[in-house]
Structure 1
Amino acid sequence: MKKIVLTALLLTLSFGAFAQDDVEEKDYTTNVATLNSIIESLYTVISGDKGFKRDWDLFKHLFHKNAKLIPTGKSIKGEIKVRYLSVDDYISTSGEWLETNGFHEREVHRTVESFGAITQVFSTYEAYKTKTDEVPFLKGINSIQLFNDGTRWWIINLLWTQETEDTPIPETYLPQED
């Protein structure tokens, strides 16, 4: 009887070990290898149609552990406000909304300033509910502060504001006709 119990226990432990081997660690190295790849990954990871599950592990991988996401805009009372969110705060406050409503954010213009290991990107965006929408339901600018540690890029801060009637996006930050 002891032999049967011991054999069953060993089989159970063996299957558990094999199951752990089946869980594949995702490799996000290419997503943070270049400035372009990290910006493209940022836009791609939050975008998707209704019901599309976002890759929040990738989203977290783009940001430094102390990064802040900082939306700005007018409150209902008309006061200009700023909110400071951690990456996890952003996921818990916006993740479900993105997946329930559908959200596609597309970069339409970018300006880049760099010095040493730091880079500041002004990234003009347009947001759509579906991939096939032709008219954006909102526009704005993402101000993205990044750091390159010599092996990869990190988003340090992401500050954004939406275009309004009172604050249209300046021509400098709009796509230029050739």
Structure 2
Amino acid sequence: MRYLAAVVFALVPPYACAADTPAAAVAELWRASSHAPGVAADADRLQRLFRPDAVVAGGVYRQDKPVFTAMKATDFVAGQRQPRPHGFYECEVVREVRQYDRFATVYSVVETRRDPQAEKADYTGVNSIQLYRDEEGWKIVSLYYHVEKPGVPIPLDAGKSGACLAA
């Protein structure tokens, strides 16, 4: 029996289950979202991170006007299955975790680059991620992102541009 368990753990990727901490779940979110040119995000990994009833919402500026969108996380993940012509690399530079019992909220500032070696980010966003710990581990309940408003930089506090955080 122990041999079978060892084989199963050896064959199952480390991201097959929900994360064991809120910080690990958020770090996994950014890793799964990142991809090289001509490749899709790791949608299967993303799907495992979100609860089936989760929501993804966000705010961006288009032609200097704020635009808000919201969707089911399943629809968000489905959209990540398509290969993109450009690279998409997420670098989390600030993370603040607040946790109580089975609830956690994570404030996360992420820089996005098409080229991971680029000195300057193509854009920066601030994210609020709510998580719930069930019997499988920490899963995302909701993700709200807000892309930096031109001319109004997001404070990095103790973070440093280009210095990606680990889980």
TM-score (norm 1): 0.73
Question: Unaligned regions of 5+ residues in structure 1, if any?
Answer: 1-23
Distance 1:25 1:171 in 2: 36
- Pairwise CA distance, 1:144: 0.5
Q: Specify the alignment match of 2:74 in structure 1.
A: 88
The structure 2 residue matched to 1:154, chosen from 129, 139, 147, is 139
Please, which of 28, 32, 49 is the counterpart of residue 41 of structure 1? 28
Q: Is the 8 A contact 1:45 1:58 kept in 2?
A: yes
Aligned residue number for residue 7 of structure 1: none
Q: What corresponds to 1:13 in structure 2?
A: none
Q: Within 5 Å, give how 1:35-114 maps onto structure 2.
A: 35-76=22-63, 78=65, 80-96=66-82, 99-114=84-99
- Counterpart CA distance in 1 for 2:132 and 2:18 is 14
Q: Is the 8 A contact 2:108 2:127 kept in 1?
A: yes
Q: 1:175 corresponds to which residue?
A: 159
The structural deviation recorded for 1:91 is: 3.3
Amino acid in structure 2 at the alignment position of 1:58: R
Could you tell me how far apart the structure 2 residues matched to 1:63 and 1:89 are? 11
Partner Cα separation in structure 2 for residue 151 and residue 31 of structure 1? 6
Tell me the matched-pair count.
150
Given that 2:60 and 2:149 are in contact with CA atoms closer than 8 Å, whether structure 1 keeps it comes out as no
> So what's the TM-score if we normalise by structure 2?
0.77
Contact 1:142–1:158 (Cα < 8 Å) also in 2: yes
Q: Choose between structure 1 and 2: higher helix proportion.
A: 1
CA distance in 2, matches of 1:88, 1:53: 16
Report the CA distance between 1:34 and its aligned residue: 2.1
**Residues in 2 aligned to 1:68 and 1:114: alpha-carbon distance in whole angstroms:** 20
Q: Name the SS for the 1:120 alignment partner.
A: strand
Structure with the bigger RCO (C-alpha within 8 Å, sep 6+) is: 2
Contact 1:47-1:105 at 8 Å conserved across structures: yes
- Contact kept? 1:48, 1:130, Cα under 8 Å: no
Instruction: Check conservation: 1:31, 1:37, Cα contact below 8 A.
Output: no
User: In the aligned structure 1, how far is the partner of 2:125 from the partner of 2:84?
Assistant: 21
**C-alpha spacing 1:74/1:54, structure 2 compared with 1 (3 Å):** closer
SS at match of 2:105: strand
The structure with the larger Rg is: 1
Kept after mapping to 1: 8 A contact 2:50/2:141: yes
Letter in 1 for 2:57: I
Q: 1:81 and 1:112 mapped to 2: Cα distance?
A: 27
Name whichever of 136-145 and 47-56 sits farther off.
47-56
Of Structure 1 and Structure 2, the greater strand share is in 2
Structure 2 stretches lacking a partner, 5+ long: 1-10, 161-167
Which residue of 1 is the match for residue 8 of structure 2? none
